[in-house]
């Protein structure tokens, strides 16, 4: 749904002849992204940690990359 909506809005934007001021365009784009972000992120949030454990980020468990220790105020 996320990509479908973004495709529709991009097509609509390409067809309109009205040129909005830059700050209104910028604000509209960011509001649209914030409103549609849950459509993209919700499936990953619902899957939770098992998804991340099966699909870890690149270089997550590599030992040769030094890890920073936690600061004292975090414990």
pTM attached to this predicted model: 0.55
The model's confidence at residue 31, banded by pLDDT at 50, 70 and 90, is very high
Q: Got the DSSP string for the chain?
A: -HHHHHHHHHHHHHH------HHHHHHHHHHHHHHHHHHHHHHHHHH-HHHHHHSPPTTSS-TTSPPPPPPGGG-
What is the spatial distance between Cα 2 and Cα 40, in angstroms, rounded to a whole number?
6
pLDDT of 42 reads 82
CA dist., res. 49 & res. 54, Å (int): 9
Q: Is the pLDDT of residue 4 over 90?
A: yes
């Amino acid at each position: 749904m996320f990509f479908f909506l973004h495709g529709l809005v991009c097509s609509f934007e390409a067809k309109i002849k009205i040129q909005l001021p830059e700050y209104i365009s910028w604000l509209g784009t960011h509001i649209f992204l914030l409103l549609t972000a849950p459509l993209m992120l919700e499936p990953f949030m619902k899957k939770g940690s098992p998804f991340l454990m099966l699909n870890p980020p690149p270089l997550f468990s590599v030992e040769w990359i030094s890890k920073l220790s936690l600061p004292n105020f975090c414990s």
